[in-house]
């Protein structure tokens, strides 16, 4: 009897200004969400900080996106598992890859942790271009 292989989900944030990733099942552009970069107190932070994440995710657009996206990501994961795929790659992008995309990636990771998947999460560009802060 062979052990069933779990789906490996690679989820990451990135900044469009550093190039778009390829080879994905889902690429999500969240540049429409409110941008903490333009709020002086939030700019130095990242989407890993609660106040920055709340600014993004608790906005009207952020709440609606979470509501819609949860079903889509759960569907993608279930169907990739059913199809016995080995890897599913998801990327979330904003302008610099520091605020909005990071906040949503952290939220998506929480959604995916509730599923029967092996999850890898990283923030490709979170530390780039910090000199302007």
pLDDT in tens, 84-110: 999 999 999 999 999 999 999 999 999
Flag whether 80 is in a domain.
yes
Q: What is the domain count for the chain?
A: 1
User: Beta-carbon neighbour count of residue 75 at 10 Å?
Assistant: 10
Flag whether 84 is in a domain.
yes
pLDDT at 13 over 70: yes
Flag whether 7 is in a domain.
no
pLDDT at 133 over 80: no
Question: How does the average pLDDT of the chain come out, rounded?
Answer: 94
Flag whether 90 is in a domain.
yes
As a whole number, mean pLDDT of residues 55-84 equals 96
pLDDT in tens, 35-62: 999 999 999 999 999 999 999 999 999 9
Residue found under tokens 């560009």 = 125
**pLDDT value at residue 1:** 45
Q: Which of 90, 84, 46 is nearest to 69 (CA)?
A: 90
- pTM of the full predicted structure? 0.92
For the sheet with 26-29, list strands across it: 26-29, 87-94, 7-15, 117-123
Q: Which of 125, 129, 107 is nearest to 59 (CA)?
A: 107
Supply the range of the domain harboring residue 113: 22-124
pLDDT at 131 over 70: no
Q: Which of 133, 104, 3 is nearest to 121 (CA)?
A: 104
Q: Which of 123, 8, 22 is nearest to 77 (CA)?
A: 8
């Amino acid at each position: 009897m062979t052990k069933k292989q779990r789906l490996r989900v690679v989820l990451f944030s990135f900044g469009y200004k550093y190039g778009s990733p390829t080879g994905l099942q889902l690429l999500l552009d969240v540049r429409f969400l409110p941008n903490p970069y333009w709020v002086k107190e939030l700019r130095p932070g990242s989407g890993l900080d609660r106040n920055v994440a709340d600014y993004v995710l608790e906005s009207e657009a952020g709440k609606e996106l979470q509501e819609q996206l949860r079903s889509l990501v759960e569907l993608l994961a279930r169907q990739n598992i059913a199809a016995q795929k080995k890897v599913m790659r998801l990327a979330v992008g904003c302008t610099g890859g520091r605020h909005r995309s990071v906040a949503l990636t952290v939220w998506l990771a929480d959604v995916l942790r509730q599923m029967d998947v092996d999850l890898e999460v990283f923030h490709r560009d979170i530390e780039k271009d910090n000199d302007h802060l």
